[in-house]
Structure 1
Amino acid sequence: MAAQTSDAERPEVGSTTRIEIAPSSAEAVELAPGDLLRVIDVEGSQVADLVAYDAHDHAVSFSQGFTRLLWDRVDVRLGDSLLSAGGDALLTVVEDTVGVHDLLFPPCNTMMYERVFGVSGKTGCREHLTTALAPYGIGFAQVTDPFNVFMHTRIGADQHMTILPPTSRPGDQLTLRAERELVVAVSACAGDTNDCNGGRLTGIRLEVVRSVPATPAE
């Protein structure tokens, strides 16, 4: 289970909930319109896979492909939104200390590890996201290709996709604003067979800053 603590350290915005995602695992959160979701690389060089679903209609979900298509590029920048297949804005980037993320790769998974790397029995982000989303009735087949936060990739002259070590440092963060009621799941990527996570697996911290200040206790 995620370690969560709530406080009012940002009273001008609202209460803050912290969620610690252990290495090679995932957690899910519910967001209301205007809530901020901050994804923090705790120790540096750790990728976080993020997927998002409309809280009331899970068929409306983040689309990696349509986000690329409608922005006409393979990255996400400050002010851009993560879009659904219907062009709906789900989350908008409002702060980014890194500026290097990925919109090309699917989540790592057991099948990939077996076929590409010859590693049997290893679970990946798709399995971990599925576990986190199970309480919401979102299954393995509904886990979409993610927004790969902090992942550093390139398309070479030969058109091959290359994974490079992340450029994120300890404490680097990406902040997204929810544009509707959402269920969002984030994994601390399990990839340790290439440079995806800089050669070691560490945790990811989430901070959820609520758009409505917490009601003071009576």
Structure 2
Amino acid sequence: MTEPVTPAAETAARIAENKRRYEDLKAAGQDHAPRVLPPPTPRGSVLLPPGPVKREVIPPFWYATLRLLPGEAVRIALMDAPSAVSLIAWNAHDTSERINYADTVKIQWTAALGKGRVIFSDMGRVMLSIVEDTSGMHDALVGGSTAASNRRRYGVRPMRNTRDNFLLAAGKLGLDRRDVPPAITFFAPVRTDAAGGFVWQDAPRVAGDFVDLRAEMDLLVALSNCPHPLDPNPDYAAGSVEAIRFWAPEPAFDDLCRTATREAVRGFENLAR
């Protein structure tokens, strides 16, 4: 007599089958990755290219908005103390297309962002390329702080947070809360442990760290300089951050971001259409 299948057994079997399919797809994607990504950029090794630059300092706990044209880049640089800088972006011509951190992770088969990776929109197109990066420790899983996470972490006194900063930034751009997607946070060393939990790694973040992001389409960008919700520092603290806009060098035919993975190639093909 066949034993009845319990709901728990059905759930376990479904999870196992989904995991098997994921691993098969991941293996197929990685088999076609033609290039090995480099280590982080040495601090102080990459100067800004000659030509005009536009600099804006983002004070602790504040935010900034900017418009990036295709081929323009922004360097997000830590000035005087460790900070976590959250980013969201929209297609400037159709703001229903916006950054999608879940697809950025799934399409590239990794949550570890660094030099050579790209950031996807929710329409499968590349919005930003990470062309230089001194850290290699960024968060594409948790997102930025909220009023609730600040209360849990620091107490009841009012403190600025990334979610509210992005609502203000969206309003400045003619958008509202429905237009604010989950963020990617730079200089936030978040990883997952063996049980799938989020952990904050003991990775150095120092003044002089920077990440260079090259715009691949006409973008509206919002940046928020607030402590990350998993930061173990008991104090509500951050340093100033500089956002430096400049024209990136013309991508070569073998540009790392455009050729590192088959999925990135397809994202740029979608963009070209």
TM-score, normalised with respect to structure 2:
0.67
1 or 2, which has the higher helix percentage? 2
Q: Report the AA paired with residue 203 of structure 1.
A: S
Larger Rg: 2
Corresponding residue for 1:96?
133
CA distance in 2, matches of 1:165, 1:183: 33
The match for 2:167 among 127, 130, 135 is 130
1:159 aligned onto 2:186: no
CA distance in 1, matches of 2:125, 2:139: 20
Give the length in aligned residue pairs. Answer: 203
What are the residue-to-residue correspondences of 1:55-204 with 2, within 5 Å?
55-114=92-151, 119=156, 121-164=158-201, 167-191=204-228, 194-195=231-232, 200-204=237-241
CA distance in 2, matches of 1:191, 1:161: 13
Corresponding residue for 1:22?
59
Corresponding residue for 1:207?
244
Q: CA deviation at 1:157?
A: 2.2
Question: In 2 relative to 1, CA 156–81 (structure 1 residues): closer, same or farther, beyond 3 Å?
Answer: same
Q: What residue ranges of structure 2 are gaps of 5+ in the alignment?
A: 1-46, 250-273
CA distance in 2, matches of 1:211, 1:54: 19
Do the aligned partners of 1:45 and 1:197 also contact (CA within 8 Å) in 2? no
CA distance in 1, matches of 2:248, 2:174: 26
After superposition, the CA RMSD in angstroms is 2.5
CA distance in 2, matches of 1:208, 1:197: 33
Higher relative contact order (CA 8 A, sep 6+): 1
CA distance in 1, matches of 2:235, 2:196: 23
Q: Deviations over 1:154-190 (max 9, x none)?
A: 2122322123455221111000100011011111114
Q: What residue ranges of structure 1 are gaps of 5+ in the alignment?
A: 1-8, 213-218
1 or 2, which has the higher strand percentage? 1
Q: CA deviation at 1:55?
A: 0.5
Q: CA deviation at 1:194?
A: 3.9
Do the aligned partners of 1:96 and 1:175 also contact (CA within 8 Å) in 2? yes
Q: Deviations over 1:97-126 (max 9, x none)?
A: 111111011221113334676536433101
